Amino acid sequence: MALVNPHGKDKKLMPLMLEGAALEAAKTAAKSMDQVKMSSRETSDLIMMGIGAFTPLTGFMGKADWKSVCEKFVMADGLFFPIPITLSTTKGQANSLKIGQEVALVDEESGEIMGSMTIAEMYDMSEDDKKFECQAVFTTTDAVEHPGAQKVMAQGDVNIAGPVKVFSEGHYPETYKGIYMRPAETRALFEAKGWNTVAAFQTRNPMHRSHEYLAKIAIETLDGCCIHMLLGKLKAGDIPADVRQKAIDTLVDNYFVKDTCVVSGYPMEMRYAGPREALLHALFRQNYGMSHLLVGRDHAGVGDFYGPFDAHHIFDKIPAGALETAPIKIDLSFYCTKCDGMASDKTCPHGKESRLIVSGTKLRKMLSEGEEVPDHFSRPEVLTILRAYYEGLTEKVEIKMHKHAETGGK
């Protein structure tokens, strides 16, 4: 037994980060290059490539890969990949760039040069092309209500593609010290613990009892669980990463066994691509050495764009062997007084009156207005932290509705 292999036929991690003298030389050279600005999503994708989380990608995707991934979930060479990883710029800038030219890749928010790319291809992304991508990836072109579609529709009108070199992981290693890990690091951690089978519990929210239950079901049957937090950007209304981390650390300290659970994070930004994102979540977990991905209700969903179990079903539709990392599909879970414990529709035969289900909206109302949260819904230590956060929010109007408790928080 051993950990799952990294994705791709070579079965080894391919981080694109430069180090040492090569890094210094590349950084110096990049200073005099033309600069292409990256959105926060593009920057997060570049870092994912840098640390080997998107192994075996070598850079942003060209048109053939983009189209094939959208249509068929595979790169032009047949490699399974569920979501296009692309970089865009304006027509104006594209006209000034040449194939074969190496450009500096700059994070538009921090202004930091994050890496460089040798341009292999430039291709127009018309309004129709963007809509095609959105329909394929998000099942909608609704750029108002769908935050992922919104970003694609707002992109520049040209995609530029080619192999990248990565210089920096941005603020992540510093901001999330001890939590932020590269795939090589989680693999070393799991090996040190003697784990072969590891479930990823994907989360972008604090964990309540229902989420704890999912993680613990995995722990009962596998060697361990990695509570794997998304550290990249979220949409408005989601709880900030530092509050979430504190809430999760408290939960783990008080209710998990050290030998079977670790907490870690990765630098990707949410796309809210539902089932396709669940597949991407499984793909990069494979690179992180995690053999299983817990997939709850409406995984990586937003609003009502996906059916509650679309992210379960999609795993049955991909070719056998496309991924080594397998889903653990779990139903909506809750505390049931008659069961005297946690359960789901699959294990609890009792009626609604015995099931404790609190919507995300209601929970936030309770927390921000100092109301009591019903027993068994969440751990008291977690509620204390969330209450402090909500009470500290000055602009309560910012708390927009999102489907936290209903969706499993992912």
Name the DSSP letter for residue 353.
G
**Would you say 34 or 259 has its CB closer to its own copies?**
259
Q: How many residues does the chain have?
A: 410
CB of 291 to its own copies, least distance (A): 13
- For its own copies, the closer of residues 110 and 347 by Cβ is 347
Annotation marks residue 159 as catalytic: no
Closest separation in Å from C-beta 339 to its own copies: 7
CA 247 – CA 207 distance, rounded (Å): 7
State in Å, rounded, how far the first CA of the chain is from the last one. 30
- As measured in angstroms, the least distance from the Cβ of 10 to its own copies is 23
Residue with tokens 């329909």: 135
User: If you search the block for the tokens 């989680």, which residue do you land on?
Assistant: 186
Shortest CA distance to 203 belongs to which of 273, 291, 264?
A: 264
Q: Are 331 and 312 in contact (CB under 8 A)?
A: no
Judged by CB, which is closer to its own copies: 53, or 279? 279
Spot the catalytic one: 41, 159, 182, 205.
205
Nearest approach, Cβ of residue 275 and its own copies (Å):
18
Q: Residues in the site for its own copies, rule: CB under 8 A? A: 1, 216-217, 219-221, 254-260, 316, 328-331, 338-349, 376
Q: Give the C-alpha separation, 225 to 78, whole Å.
A: 31
Nearer to its own copies, 104 or 225 (CB): 225
Q: How far is the CB of 221 from its own copies (least distance, A)?
A: 5
What is the C-alpha separation between 166 and 404, in angstroms, rounded?
34
Cα separation, 43 vs 32, whole angstroms: 20
Which regions of 43-127 does DSSP assign to beta strands (E)?
59-60, 88-89, 102-107, 113-118, 121-124
Q: For tokens 């596998």, what's the residue?
A: 222
Angle at 68 between CA 278 and CA 275, to 5 degrees: 15
Catalytic option among 182, 204, 244, 364:
204
Q: How far apart are CA 237 and CA 204, in angstroms?
A: 12
Find the shortest distance in angstroms from Cβ 206 to its own copies: 18
**Residue 68 and residue 86 in contact, taking contact as beta carbons nearer than 8 Å:** no
Distance CA 382, CA 380 (A): 5
Tokens of 303: 């609003």
Nearer to its own copies, 350 or 396 (CB): 350
Minimum CB separation from its own copies for residue 402, in Å? 25
CA distance 21 to 388: 46
Give the whole-angstrom CA distance, residue 152 versus residue 162: 19
Reference 239, options 270, 285, 284, 212; nearest CA is: 270
DSSP secondary structure code for residue 229 in this structure: E
Decide whether 347 or 359 has the Cβ nearer to its own copies.
347
CA distances from 330 to 240, 324, 349, 407 (A): 26, 19, 16, 12
Instruction: Quote the tokens at residue 224.
Output: 């361990």
Distance CA 35, CA 340 (A): 60
Residue closer to its own copies by CB (options 31, 258) is 258
| 182 belongs to the catalytic site | no
Q: In whole angstroms, how close is the CB of 299 to its own copies at the nearest point?
A: 15
Complex with its own copies: residue 187 or 216, whichever CB lies closer: 216
Residues designated as active site: 204-205
